[in-house]
Amino acid sequence: MTMFRRLLCVGVILLSGLAPARAQTSKLDAVLAAGTLRVGIPGDYRPFAVKDSSGEITGLDIDLANAMGRAMGVKIALVATKWGELLPDLAADKFDIAMGGISVTLARQKLAYFSTPLMRTGKSAIARCADTTKFASLAGIDQVGVRVITNPGGTNEAFDRANLKAATIIVHPDNLGVWGELLAGRADVMITDNVETRLQQKLNPGLCAIHPEAPFDFGELGVLLPRDIALKLWVDQFVHITTETGELARLQGKWLN
């Protein structure tokens, strides 16, 4: 083999190594091909997504999911999940995205993406109105004998365990039932997103949100996504458009007021 032919062969080998790998189908492509967007929903967080007595799930994030489906040109399929199972279920491909008032956290972002934030929030307390002055600060809440109720597996429980050392933490399996536990005196206070404390004081006379305008921390809510950049970029653009057109604000007003 001549020197020229040797060099030509080497060049072909090198160029073949630089050739782009065969493009993989994105999650966005898969959703469009299937004609259905599967949305994981815990379904116990009012006003974002909650199941009523008839079994229908309604809320702000359900309206947003339906709007997303219309924009994609696909159907929406709601898939039941739980707060503690969001990431395992996403990894197991039980749904394509998850919604329902999901907090953006660094721990979750180790394993998944989040959309552009939908709403700013922060943890604040809610208690019986007669007790609000006692629980106006974390120091006031973190006292021996104070019973702090929380739903399992989410950021509320994580916040309580990180910040409360003396108070008793009661994990209640039914997120929708914590308000009755507070009113009945079987728990003293709950720490949750300030958007929820504001709403629940309207729905449950006798309960009062405690300084929701000055939450204990800073947080944001968003759409939980697999690590698929095409799908994330599409959802981010959807959020951007609904924000700029005022549709997001309209839906927030509908469900928060």
125-152, pLDDT tens digit by residue?
Answer: 999 999 999 999 999 999 999 999 999 9
Say yes or no: domain 27-120+220-256 is CATH 3.40.190.10.
yes
**pTM: predicted TM-score of the whole model, two decimal places:** 0.83
The CATH architecture that domain 123-210 belongs to is 3-Layer(aba) Sandwich (3.40)
From CA 68, how far away is CA 37, in angstroms rounded? Answer: 9
Q: Averaged over 27-44, what is the pLDDT?
A: 96
Is residue 217 very low, low, confident or very high in pLDDT (cuts 50, 70, 90)? very high
Structural contact between residues 28 and 231, judged by C-beta atoms closer than 8 angstroms: yes
What are 230-244's pLDDT values in tens digits?
Answer: 999 999 999 999 999
Quote the pLDDT of residue 150.
Answer: 97
Residue 9 scores a pLDDT above 50: no
Residue 212 above 50 pLDDT?
A: yes
Q: Where in the chain is the domain with CATH 3.40.190.10?
A: 27-120+220-256, 123-210
- pLDDT tens, residue by residue, 139-198: 999 999 999 999 998 899 999 999 999 999 999 998 889 999 999 999 999 999 999 999
In the predicted model, what is the mean pLDDT of residues 49-73?
94
Q: What is the pLDDT of residues 64-112, one digit of tens each?
A: 999 999 999 999 999 999 999 999 999 999 999 999 999 999 999 999 9
Report residue 25's pLDDT band, with 50, 70 and 90 as the boundaries: confident
Measured CA to CA, the distance from residue 156 to residue 143 in angstroms comes to 18
pLDDT-derived band at 23, boundaries 50, 70, 90: low
